[in-house]
C-alpha cells in the first residue's frame, strides 16, 4: 500500500467515527427521553387533578394495528388523552407483562384471547361493576378483573368448490370420523384453538376430549401455525375444512371479492366447536393512570366502539343493541355452548393434554 | 499444499515473537471482555430461570420427543448450510471475478433475498408453490391437479436456503474482492489450469469466509421460527415458541439454554475444521484488482444460474407482493404509506449496524492477533445470541432492563443493545475474516517505528479490514431491518418499524397493506446493498 493510500484510509475512518459518535449522542438523547417523560407524565397527572389536561395512557395492545388502531385514535381524539400504544402478539405482550412484573409501565392490556388475559389476571385490578355489567356474564372474568370487548366465534371454514353446507358435520366431534381423514386443517399452537380445546374439556370432560384428540390425530390433520393460512388453504383446495375463528374470512372477501371460494360454517348442533371467545381488556394494578384507563375500557364498550368492531373487524359486539354486520350469522343464532370463563381458565391443562396426545411437541 | 498455506508459513516467520500465548494488551482485552459479558447477559438470565424451574420443566427436556426434535433441527441446519454454501460460493465468484454481463446488477440482486423476513418469505412462497398454490393454478390447464407437497423438511430446507444463502455470499464476496491476485497468478504461471487454481488456491483461501457465513446460516436456521412454523417442520425453536405461547416460561428457558449449548457445540465443530492455517497476505495486498476471468461460452449457463436463483428467491416473492398491491388497489383497499416507519427502520438499523461493528472489532482483533483460551472463549460467547430465538433474548432483556436500568427500558438504547446481543456474530465473522488476511508483519513494522499496539491496530490494520467491517455492518443492517420479536417487545412505545407493521398486517390478512410495506422494506434495504456493490465496482476499476 502506498503512503497516499494509507492517509486516505485514515481519512475515511474519520467519517465512520463521526457517525458512531453521532449515534451515541442520539442514543443518549433517546435514553434521556424516558426520565423526562416520567417527569412530564407526573406533571400530567397533577394537571389532570386540576382538570386542566386529560393526561396520558399507556396501552399494550395484543391485536394488529390495522384492526385496533383506528378506534384507539378515535378515543384519543374524543377525550384528548394522549394514548401511547405498544402493539404486539397477545402471547408476547402477556409474557412481557409477566417479566416486567410490578414495574410495568403499562396501564391497560388489550388482549386478543382469554388465554392471554388469564395469564396476567393476577396483575389486573378489579374493574368497577358499572363496566363489568355491560357485557354478559360469559364474556367477563370470574373475578371481575377483565372484561370482554368483542366476541370471536370458532367456526369451520370450508372450500365451496369441494363441499356445500349440507355435507358438513353437525358437531365438531364428527370431524374425528374416518371420512374426514386428510381433509382437515387445524392450528394446535394457536391460542384460539387451545381455548376451544379448553371448552371441550369443560363440556365433554377430560376423557372424551382426549378421545377426540387421539381420533383427530389418526385423521392426519394438516397442521397450520395460525388461522390466516388455513383460510387461504381452504380456498385453494389444499384442505376441505379448517378449524378457525370466524372473522378472518371477511378480510379475504374484502381483498379478493365475493368469488373467494371459501365460507364459514357454524356447527348446527353447537357444542364446544362453536364456542365464542372474547378479546378483552384489563387494567394493571400498578397503573398510575387509573382514571384514564377506566375511561378507555369504558369507551371500548361504548356504542361507537362496539359498532366499530361489528362493522370494521367483523367481530361480535358484546353490548346490547348493536347491529352485527349483515355478513355475519347473528350471535343469538350461533348455538354457543354454555361455558363460563371460570371453566376456561385452565390453559396449562389443555397444553398438557395436547402434548400428551402428540398434537403439540 | 495450497499456495495459501505456503504464504501463511512464510508470514509466520515474519510474525516472530508474536506467537500463540503472547499476552493481549489491556486496551484490547477490556473492551472485548465487556462486549462478551454484555452479550452473555440474556444467557445468564435464562440459566438463572432454568435453575429455578421446577422438575416438570426439566422432565420436558428428557422426553424422547425432545431429542427427536433436536435431531430434526440439526438435520435441517446441516442441510440448509450445505446448500447455502453450494449456491453462494459460485455466485460470489461469478459476481466478483468474472466478466459476467450485468455483474453489478447481479451483485445487488443476489444479496437481496436476505432482506425478506422469513415469516413473510415463507408465506409468499407457500402461496406460489404450495400444493394448490398459484403455480398449480397456472398449470391446471395442463392437467396438473396438485403439486408435490412442500411442507415438512423439503420445503423448510428449500425456503430457508433461498432466504439465507446471502449470509455466505456476502463474506465470500468480500474475501474475493480483497484477495491478493498474486497467489492465483503464480499458480497459473506454475502451470495449473483455471479450475485447479480455483480448487487448490482460491478455495482454501476462501475457507474462513465460507466457514464464517456457514456458521451464520447454521445458527440462523436453528433460531428461525417464521419459516419452520409455516412449513410445518417441528424444530427446537418452534417448541420454544410453543412453550412461550402457553406461558410456560421456565420450560422455555430450559429449552433455550439447551439451544445455546447446541450452538456452542456447532462453534467448537467449526473451530476444529478451521485448524491452524493462517491466511494473511505477505503485504498489504488486495489493492491491485485481479484480471476478470473471461467466461466465454460459459457465460450463458452462468447467467442462467444467477437468473434462476434471483427468480426463485427474489422475483417470486416480490412479484406476488406487487400483485397483492395491484389487487388491493382494484378492490379499493386503503394502503396508507407511512414514511415514519420506514425512517424508524432505517435509523435504528443504521445505528445498530455501527454499534455492532464497533463491538465486534475488539473481539475479532483479539481472536485473530492473540489466539488463546481467553480470546477463543470471548469469540464463541459472541455467537451464542444468534442461535437463540429472538423472543428469549428480548424477554430476558425485559426482565433485566426494567429492573436494573429502568431509565433505559423501552428506549432505543436497550433495543440496540438487544440487536448487538442477537447479531454480533454477523459482524464478527466478516471482521474476523478480513483481519485474518492482514499480515501481522505490517503491524510489527508500525510497532517498530514506535507506534503503540492500539495505534498500530487503528492506523494500519483497521483501514485494511475496512471492507470486512462494511460487509459486516451491511449484514447487521439487513438483519435489523427485518427483525421482529425483539423489536416488538423492546421498542419504545409508539415506535413502529416496517417489520412490525408488516407482521401485524399479514397476521390479520390485510395482504395489500403488508405487501406495500414489504416492498418498501426491500427497497429501503437495497440501498446499503447497492452501495456495497457499487463501491466494490468503483474500487476495482
Question: Tens of pLDDT along A148-197?
Answer: 999 999 999 999 999 999 999 999 999 999 999 999 999 998 889 999 99
Q: Which ranges of B405-465 does DSSP label H, i.e. alpha helix?
A: 412-436, 440-448, 453-456, 462-464
How far apart are the CA of B508 and the nearest CA of chain A, in angstroms?
Answer: 7
**Most confident region among A56-70, B288-302, B500-514 by mean pLDDT:** A56-70
Q: Is A229 on the interface with B (CB under 8 A)?
A: yes
pLDDT of residue B289: 66
Mean pLDDT highest for which of A198-212, B214-228, B242-256, B442-456? Answer: A198-212
CA angle B97, B294, B464 (to 5 degrees): 20
Interface test with B, best of A36, A82, A225, A249 (most B CBs within 10 A): A225
Of residues A194 and B145, the one with the higher pLDDT is A194
* Phi then psi dihedrals of residue B29, to 5 deg: -65, -40
Mean per-residue pLDDT over chain B, rounded: 84
A64 conformational bin, left if phi > 0, alpha if psi -120 to 50, beta if neither? beta
User: How many angstroms separate the CA of residue B469 from the nearest CA in chain A?
Assistant: 11
Does residue A113 contact residue A277 with C-beta atoms inside 8 Å?
Answer: yes
Q: Positive or negative, the Cα torsion across A197, A355, A147, A244?
A: negative
- Please tell me which residue, B244 or A177, carries the higher pLDDT value: A177
Q: How far is A1 from chain B, CA to nearest CA, in Å? A: 6
Selected residue of A56, A66, A100 to mutate for chain B interface (largest B Cβ count, 10 A): A66
Write out pLDDT tens, residues B398-411: 999 999 999 999 99
Q: Are A279 and A152 in contact (CB under 8 A)?
A: yes
Give yes or no for B139 touching A (CB within 8 A). Answer: no
Opening angle at CA A40, ends A35 and A45, nearest 5: 125
**Taking a C-beta distance cutoff of 8 angstroms, is the pair A239, A154 a contact?**
no
Query: In this predicted structure, what is the pLDDT of residue B2?
Result: 41
Going residue by residue through chain A, which has 361 residues, state the pLDDT in tens, using 9 for 90 and above.
333 333 333 333 334 444 444 444 444 444 333 333 444 444 444 444 445 578 899 999 998 888 899 999 999 999 999 999 999 989 899 999 999 999 999 999 999 988 899 999 999 999 999 999 999 999 999 899 999 999 999 999 999 999 999 999 999 999 999 999 999 999 998 889 999 999 999 999 999 999 999 999 999 898 888 898 899 999 998 899 999 999 999 989 988 889 999 999 999 998 999 999 999 999 999 999 999 999 999 999 999 999 999 888 899 999 988 888 888 888 888 888 888 888 887 888 898 899 889 888 7
A351 touching B (Cβ < 8 Å):
yes
pLDDT of residue B282: 55
What is the rounded radius of gyration, in angstroms, for the C-alpha atoms of chain B? 23
Q: Tell me how crowded residue B11 is: count the other CB atoms within 10 A of its CB.
A: 18
pLDDT attached to residue B539: 52
Predicted confidence (pLDDT) at residue B534 exceeds the cutoff of 70: no
Most confident option among A16-30, B345-359, B444-458: B345-359
pLDDT at residue B19, rounded to an integer: 45
Q: What is d(CA B11, CA A146) in angstroms, rounded to the nearest whole number?
A: 70
Return all residues near A85 (Cβ < 8 A) that are at least 6 apart: A59, A60, A61, A65, A68, A69, A72, B493, B494
Portion 76-115 of A in contact with B at CB < 8 A: 84-89, 91-96, 98-101, 103-105, 115
Please report which confidence band the pLDDT of residue B379 belongs to, taking 50, 70 and 90 as the band edges: confident
Residue count of chain A: 361
Q: pTM of the prediction?
A: 0.84
Three cell numbers written together for A350: 389443555
Size of interface A-B (CB pairs under 8 A): 190
pLDDT in tens, B146-203: 888 888 899 999 999 999 999 999 888 878 877 777 777 888 888 888 778 878 888 8
H/E element holding B187? helix B181-189
Relative orientation angle of helices B249-274 and B236-245, to the nearest 10 degrees:
160
pLDDT given at position A21: 42
Cell of A222: 394438516
Are the C-beta atoms of B106 and B118 separated by less than 8 Å?
A: no
Residue with cell 465486534: B360
Helix (H/G/I), strand (E/B), else coil: B3: helix
Chain A 63-82, residues with CB within 8 Å of chain B CB atoms: 64-67
Of A341, A207, A288, nearest to A43 (Cα)?
A288
Quick one: which of B426, B255, B404, B235 has its CA closest to B349? B426
Q: List chain B residues with CB under 8 Å of A21.
A: none
Task: Return the higher-pLDDT residue of B465 and A68.
Answer: A68
B410: which chain A residues are within 8 Å (Cβ-Cβ)? 34, 86, 105
pLDDT on residue A52? 57
Provide the ipTM: 0.84
Set of chain B residues whose Cβ sits within 8 Å of the Cβ of A32: 407
DSSP A330: P
How many Å apart are CA A76 and CA A97, to the nearest integer? 23
Is A35 in contact with B463 (Cβ distance < 8 A)? no
Tell whether the model's pLDDT for residue B247 goes beyond 70. Answer: yes
Cα angle at A254 between A250 and A257, to 5 degrees? 110
Which residue from B315, B236, A290 is spatially nearest to A298, judged by alpha carbons?
A290
CA A183 to chain B, closest CA, distance in angstroms equals 14
How do beta strands A262-265 and A241-245 pair? unpaired
CB of B512 within 8 A of CB of B322?
no
What pLDDT does residue B533 have? 61
Please report the beta strands in chain A, taking only residues with DSSP state E, as ranges in sequence order.
Answer: 56-61, 82-87, 108-111, 146-159, 184-186, 222-223, 241-245, 262-265, 276-283, 316-317
B 369-388 → A contacts, CB under 8 A:
none
| CA dist., res. B405 & res. A110, Å (int) | 26
- pLDDT at residue B217, as a whole number: 94
The beta-carbon neighbor of B351 closest among A26, A236, A257 is: A26
Backbone angles phi, psi at B2, to 5 degrees: -70, 150
Q: Does the pLDDT at position B541 exceed 50? A: no
How many angstroms separate the CA of residue A177 from the nearest CA in chain B? Answer: 24
Contact assessment for residue B121 and residue B321, using Cβ atoms and an 8 Å cutoff:
no
Please check whether residue A4 touches B, CB under 8 A. no
**Could you tell me the sign of the dihedral formed by the alpha carbons of A264, A269, A273, A275, in that order?**
positive
- Measured between alpha carbons, how far apart are the two ends of chain B, in Å? 32
Q: Distance from B494 to chain A by nearest Cα, in Å?
A: 5
Spatial separation of the C-alpha atoms in residues B172 and B208, rounded to whole Å: 9
3-state secondary structure of A154: strand
Does B277 have pLDDT greater than 70? no
Exposure class string for A41-59: b at 16+ Cβ within 10 A, else e: beebbeebeeeebbbbbbb
The residues in B 60-79 lying below 8 A from A, measured between CB atoms, are 65-66, 69
- B335 CB within 8 Å of a chain A CB: no
Query: Per residue, what are the HEC states of B286-345?
Result: CCCCCCCECCHHHHHHHHHHHHHHHHHHHHHHHHHHHHHHHHHHHCCCCCCCCHHHHHHH
The minimal CB distance from B133 to the residues A34, A104, A236 is found for A236
| Angle subtended at Cα A46 by Cα A42 and Cα A52, rounded to the nearest 5 degrees | 125
Amino acid at each position: 500500500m502506498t503512503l497516499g493510500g494509507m492517509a486516505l484510509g485514515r481519512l475515511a475512518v474519520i467519517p465512520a467515527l463521526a457517525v458512531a459518535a453521532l449515534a451515541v449522542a442520539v442514543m443518549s438523547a433517546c435514553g434521556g427521553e424516558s426520565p423526562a417523560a416520567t417527569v412530564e407524565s407526573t406533571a400530567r397527572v397533577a394537571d389532570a387533578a386540576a382538570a386542566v389536561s386529560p393526561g396520558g395512557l399507556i396501552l399494550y395492545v395484543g391485536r394488529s394495528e390495522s384492526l385496533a388502531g383506528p378506534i384507539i385514535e378515535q378515543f384519543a381524539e374524543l377525550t384528548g388523552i394522549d394514548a401511547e400504544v405498544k402493539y404486539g402478539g397477545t402471547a408476547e405482550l402477556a409474557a412481557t407483562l409477566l417479566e416486567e412484573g410490578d414495574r410495568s409501565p403499562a396501564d391497560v392490556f388489550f388482549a386478543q384471547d382469554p388465554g392471554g388475559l388469564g395469564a396476567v389476571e393476577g396483575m389486573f385490578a378489579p374493574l368497577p361493576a358499572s363496566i363489568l355489567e355491560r357485557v354478559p356474564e360469559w364474556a367477563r372474568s370470574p373475578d371481575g378483573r377483565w372484561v370482554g370487548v368483542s366476541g370471536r366465534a370458532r367456526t369451520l371454514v370450508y372450500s365451496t368448490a369441494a363441499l356445500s353446507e349440507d355435507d358438513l358435520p353437525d358437531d365438531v366431534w364428527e370431524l374425528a370420523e374416518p371420512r374426514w381423514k386428510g381433509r382437515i386443517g387445524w392450528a394446535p399452537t394457536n391460542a384460539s384453538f387451545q381455548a376451544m380445546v379448553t371448552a371441550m374439556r369443560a363440556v365433554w370432560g377430560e376423557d372424551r376430549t382426549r378421545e377426540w384428540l387421539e381420533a383427530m390425530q389418526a385423521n392426519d390433520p394438516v397442521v397450520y401455525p395460525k388461522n390466516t393460512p388455513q383460510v387461504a388453504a381452504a380456498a385453494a383446495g389444499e384442505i376441505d375444512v379448517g378449524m378457525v375463528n370466524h372473522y378472518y374470512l371477511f378480510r379475504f372477501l374484502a381483498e379478493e371479492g365475493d368469488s373467494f371460494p371459501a365460507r364459514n360454517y357454524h356447527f348446527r348442533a353447537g357444542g364446544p366447536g362453536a364456542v365464542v371467545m372474547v378479546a378483552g381488556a384489563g387494567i394493571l394494578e400498578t397503573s398510575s393512570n387509573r382514571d384514564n384507563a377506566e375511561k378507555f375500557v369504558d369507551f371500548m364498550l361504548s356504542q361507537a366502539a362496539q359498532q366499530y368492531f361489528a362493522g370494521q373487524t367483523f367481530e361480535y359486539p358484546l353490548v346490547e343493541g348493536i347491529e352485527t354486520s349483515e355478513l355475519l350469522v347473528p350471535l343469538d343464532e350461533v348455538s354457543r355452548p354454555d361455558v363460563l370463563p371460570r371453566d376456561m381458565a385452565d390453559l396449562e391443562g389443555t397444553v398438557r393434554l395436547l402434548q400428551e396426545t402428540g398434537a403439540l411437541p | 499444499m495450497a499456495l495459501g498455506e505456503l504464504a501463511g508459513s512464510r508470514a509466520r516467520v515474519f510474525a516472530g515473537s508474536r506467537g500463540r500465548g503472547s499476552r493481549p494488551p489491556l486496551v484490547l482485552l477490556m473492551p472485548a471482555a465487556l462486549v462478551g459479558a454484555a452479550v452473555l447477559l440474556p444467557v445468564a438470565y435464562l440459566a438463572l430461570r432454568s435453575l429455578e424451574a421446577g422438575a416438570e420443566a426439566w422432565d420436558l427436556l428428557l422426553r424422547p420427543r425432545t431429542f427427536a426434535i433436536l435431531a430434526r433441527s440439526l438435520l435441517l441446519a446441516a442441510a440448509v448450510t450445505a446448500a447455502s454454501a453450494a449456491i453462494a460460493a459460485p455466485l460470489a465468484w461469478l459476481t466478483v471475478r468474472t466478466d459476467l454481463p450485468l455483474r453489478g446488477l447481479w451483485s445487488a440482486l443476489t444479496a437481496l433475498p436476505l432482506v425478506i423476513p422469513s415469516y413473510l418469505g415463507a408465506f409468499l412462497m407457500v402461496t406460489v408453490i404450495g400444493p394448490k398454490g398459484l403455480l398449480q393454478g397456472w398449470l391446471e390447464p395442463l392437467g396438473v391437479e396438485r403439486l408435490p407437497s412442500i411442507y415438512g423438511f423439503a420445503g423448510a430446507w428449500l425456503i430457508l436456503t433461498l432466504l439465507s444463502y446471502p449470509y455466505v455470499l456476502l463474506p465470500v464476496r468480500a474475501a474475493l474482492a480483497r484477495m491478493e491476485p498474486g497467489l492465483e497468478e503464480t499458480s497459473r504461471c506454475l502451470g495449473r489450469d483455471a479450475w485447479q487454481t480455483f480448487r487448490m488456491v482460491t478455495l482454501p483461501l476462501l475457507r474462513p469466509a465460507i466457514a464464517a457465513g456457514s456458521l451464520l446460516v447454521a445458527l440462523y436456521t436453528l433460531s428461525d421460527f417464521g419459516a419452520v412454523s409455516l412449513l410445518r417442520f417441528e424444530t427446537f425453536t418452534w417448541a420454544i415458541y410453543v412453550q412461550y405461547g402457553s406461558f410456560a416460561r421456565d420450560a422455555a428457558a430450559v429449552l433455550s439454554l439447551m439451544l445455546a449449548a447446541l450452538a456452542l457445540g456447532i462453534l467448537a465443530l467449526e473451530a476444529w475444521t478451521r485448524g491452524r492455517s493462517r491466511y494473511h497476505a505477505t503485504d498489504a495486498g488486495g489493492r491491485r484488482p485481479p484480471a476478470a476471468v473471461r467466461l466465454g461460452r460459459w457465460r450463458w449457463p452462468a447467467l442462467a444460474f444467477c437468473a434462476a436463483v434471483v427468480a426463485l428467491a427474489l422475483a417470486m416473492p416480490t412479484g406476488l407482493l406487487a400483485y397483492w398491491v395491484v389487487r388491493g388497489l382494484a378492490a379499493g383497499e386503503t394502503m396508507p404509506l407511512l414514511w415514519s416507519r420506514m425512517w424508524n427502520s432505517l435509523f435504528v438499523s443504521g445505528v445498530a449496524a455501527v454499534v455492532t461493528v464497533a463491538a465486534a472489532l475488539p473481539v475479532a482483533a483479539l481472536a485473530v492477533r492473540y489466539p488463546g483460551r481467553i480470546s477463543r472463549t470471548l469469540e464463541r460467547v459472541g455467537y451464542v445470541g444468534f442461535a437463540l430465538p429472538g423472543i428469549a433474548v428480548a424477554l430476558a432483556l425485559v426482565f433485566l432492563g426494567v429492573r436494573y436500568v429502568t431509565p433505559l427500558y423501552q428506549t432505543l438504547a436497550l433495543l440496540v443493545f438487544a440487536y448487538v446481543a442477537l447479531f454480533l456474530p454477523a459482524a464478527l465473522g466478516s471482521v474476523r475474516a478480513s483481519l485474518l488476511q492482514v499480515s501481522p508483519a505490517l503491524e510489527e513494522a508500525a510497532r517498530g517505528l514506535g507506534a503503540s499496539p492500539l495505534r498500530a491496530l487503528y492506523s494500519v490494520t483497521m483501514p485494511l479490514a475496512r471492507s470486512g467491517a462494511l460487509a459486516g455492518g451491511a449484514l447487521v443492517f439487513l438483519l435489523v431491518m427485518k427483525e421482529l420479536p425483539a423489536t416488538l417487545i423492546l421498542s419504545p412505545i409508539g415506535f413502529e418499524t416496517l417489520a412490525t407493521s408488516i407482521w401485524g398486517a399479514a397476521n390479520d390478512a390485510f395482504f395489500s397493506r403488508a405487501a406495500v410495506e414489504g416492498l418498501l422494506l426491500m427497497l429501503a434495504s437495497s440501498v446499503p446493498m447497492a452501495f456495497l456493490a457499487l463501491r466494490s465496482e468503483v474500487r476495482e476499476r
